[in-house]
Amino acid sequence: MVLIALMNSGLAAAEARKIEITAKRFEYSPAEITIKRGETVTLVVRSLDVAHGLKFKELEAQTEIPKGRTAELTLTPTQAGTFVGQCSHFCGSGHGQMKLTLHVTD
């Protein structure tokens, strides 16, 4: 385990840069985001249709986005690399292709 994920931390969330993402069948928009290693960011994910999820397996971080609602996921990656977040709530035929790519730069 090389990465630390902070979830539901009030202090981290208050200091974090917020990145707004929309989720709808079967994509996140934007589909790719870039942050710096060690930077704490809060992904503010809004579902425009049904319930979705977002799971970064390697970061051990995930959230559920209820139908039509917004959920937040706060991350502080400690290593550079590319990490793929996957919708973790079955939302239909294209569910398996619903991905968000997180680039972490040095």
Q: Name the residues that contact Cu ion, by CB under 5 A.
A: 87, 91, 95, 98
Q: Which two tokens stand for residue 19?
A: 């990145």
Q: In what order do the strands lie in the sheet with 27-29?
A: 27-29, 17-24, 41-47, 70-75
User: Is the CB of 46 or the CB of 95 nearer to Cu ion?
Assistant: 95
User: Is the CB of 5 or the CB of 87 nearer to Cu ion?
Assistant: 87
User: Is the CB of 9 or the CB of 22 nearer to Cu ion?
Assistant: 22
Strand 17-24 to 27-29 pairing:
antiparallel
CB of residue 40 to Cu ion, shortest distance in Å: 26
